Amino acid sequence: MSLNSQNSTETENPKNANVQWGGRFAGGPSEIMQAINASISFDKVMWKQDIAGSLAHAAMLAHVGIISKEDEATIRKGLTEIGQEIAAGNFPFSEALEDIHMNIEARLSDRIGEPGKRLHTARSRNDQVATDFRLWVRDAIDGLNQQVAALMRSLARRAEEHAATPMPGFTHLQTAQPVTFGHHLMAYVEMLARDRGRLADTRKRLNECPLGSAALAGTSFPIDRKMTAELLHFDRPTANSLDSVSDRDFALEYLSALSIMAMHLSRMAEEIVIWCSSPFSFIRLSDAFTTGSSIMPQKRNPDAAELVRAKTGRITGSLVSLLTVMKGLPLAYAKDMQEDKEPVFEATDAAALSLAACDGMVRDMTANTAQMRALAGSGYSTATDIADWLVRVLKVPFRTAHHVTGRLVAKAEEKGVGLADLTLQDMQAEEPGITDDIYSVLSVDASIASRTSEGGTAPGNVSAQAQRWLKVLGAEPTAAGQ
């Protein structure tokens, strides 16, 4: 249908009108207005939260005597049956009724009559939507928190397994110093722990109940907002009715936390892509997390990792989208805020899928320990160990030791050998005090074992950190760590 034809289609049939608005809009909206105004296509995912909010509201109304106990029982039975109907896929969702809230309320009135029409007493769609949305985000946080913990457990188990497996540590993607593969994996455990903390903080701040704020000014009915908050497991009612219906900080904070987490997952995914590449060959992923090429039969492409990396754009884009929606809105509610949900729903789906993919890849990957060890000593990665030895044994100032080590690296490059292959005479030519004890620090294993400072890469440190996190996360250490 063309735009012109849509403009000319003004529905005259009162049956197409939203019956909840009564006679004022009896002519019904145009097709364009209906399309832009309706949100049922996406907000129907909040049906559980909407029913829970309505059950709590009805219980409170009966408790304070605004509706009868009999009406509350009838409403409860009707809402329970509607929940069963939606769960079974038999609910007749209507775009004409705009959103999940109106769809459920209209269905309730159809099923139980007058008691259903009393449910909306002392509330507005504004505080109803705000409450449902908070409930949905809270549930989403709880689900993602479990997924983050699962990924942390998988990483910690693999880290414990590879607590002593050498690999090159990089800065600027250039070989810097030897570390262990387990130490590298544990870095992501720490990142994800901060992500869990941000989600927990978000949950704590959002856990206030807007229900009872009504449209924007509160209500004249003698409601009990504390009761409603308790029934819905909120910590307390919100304090200001204007803020209650117009606040979407909780959604923005949630998207911000997801964006930071997505960035962490993207960094992990990028490293998996690099580690799978032929020049590195640090790990191998099975067919479960790779795809082939349509013309190159030898290819094994890490598509799962690449897609995790790409989904970061969806998640950070959702944050920017909602920030843009909210930035210029005067108090209190405006219809712009209907655009708050799709970014949150989409970001949640992308985050959940990314976490599942990362967890699967971590559990699936096979480490090429020989390749990691071979490259751990490349690029003169133990040069810092020479400088440390000069400071520790000969009491040379570190800056002087740095210069001496630099000259030794240059000499090794000139000869085309590794640092451990320089003769004692070569070394003493740069620093006469050097003894053959210096060779004790030049191996990859010696370098790694020496990094015993708290948070360092020494295998004992890594194993202890992995076991500590597994205990925190409620998982048993693997046999390698026992």
The per-residue pLDDT for 194 is 98
For position 405, which CATH number holds? 1.10.40.30
Q: Are residues 57 and 89 in the same domain?
A: yes
Number of structural domains (the chain) is 3
Looking at the chain, the whole-number percentage of residues with pLDDT higher than 90 is 81
Q: For residue 293, indicate whether it is catalytic.
A: yes
**Residue 18 domain-assigned (yes or no):** no
Q: Are residues 151 and 103 in the same domain?
A: no
The per-residue pLDDT for 282 is 96
- Name the active-site residue from 8, 277, 293, 378: 293
Contact 380, 176 (CB under 8 A): no
pLDDT, tens only, 172-218: 998 889 999 999 999 999 999 999 999 999 999 999 999 999 999 99
The per-residue pLDDT for 148 is 98
For position 114, which CATH number holds? 1.10.275.10
Neighbouring CB atoms inside 10 A of 471's CB total 12
The per-residue pLDDT for 81 is 97
**Residue 3 domain-assigned (yes or no):** no
CA dist 225 and 238 (Å) reads 9
| For residue 16, pLDDT beyond 60 | no
Q: Are residues 221 and 368 in the same domain?
A: yes
pLDDT, tens only, 283-297: 999 999 987 655 555
**Residue 480 domain-assigned (yes or no):** no
Q: Are residues 180 and 301 in the same domain?
A: yes
Q: Are residues 97 and 209 in the same domain?
A: no
Q: Are residues 112 and 217 in the same domain?
A: no
The per-residue pLDDT for 13 is 46
Domain boundary among 85, 119, 153: 119
Domain of residue 87, residue span = 36-119
Q: Are residues 180 and 50 in the same domain?
A: no
The per-residue pLDDT for 309 is 97
Residue 132, helix vs strand vs coil: helix
Domain boundary among 119, 152, 183: 119
Contact 260, 199 (CB under 8 A): no
Q: Name the least confident of 323-327, 354-358, 409-413.
A: 409-413
Q: Are residues 193 and 209 in the same domain?
A: yes
Rounded to two decimals, the pTM is 0.88
* Structure confidence at residue 30 as a pLDDT band (50, 70, 90): confident
- Name the active-site residue from 2, 5, 172, 294: 172
The per-residue pLDDT for 481 is 42
The per-residue pLDDT for 379 is 85
pLDDT, tens only, 90-107: 999 999 899 999 999 999
Domain boundary among 322, 357, 374: 374
Q: Are residues 163 and 195 in the same domain?
A: yes
**Residue 274 domain-assigned (yes or no):** yes
Whole-number mean pLDDT of the chain? 91
Q: Are residues 228 and 325 in the same domain?
A: yes
**Residue 6 domain-assigned (yes or no):** no
Q: Are residues 226 and 362 in the same domain?
A: yes
**Residue 426 domain-assigned (yes or no):** yes
Of 439 and 30, the one with more pLDDT: 439
* Structure confidence at residue 11 as a pLDDT band (50, 70, 90): very low
**Residue 193 domain-assigned (yes or no):** yes
- 314: tokens are 């969806």
The per-residue pLDDT for 9 is 39
Q: Are residues 237 and 335 in the same domain?
A: yes
Residue 218 Cα distances to 61, 142, 210, 223, angstroms: 15, 30, 10, 10
The per-residue pLDDT for 178 is 94
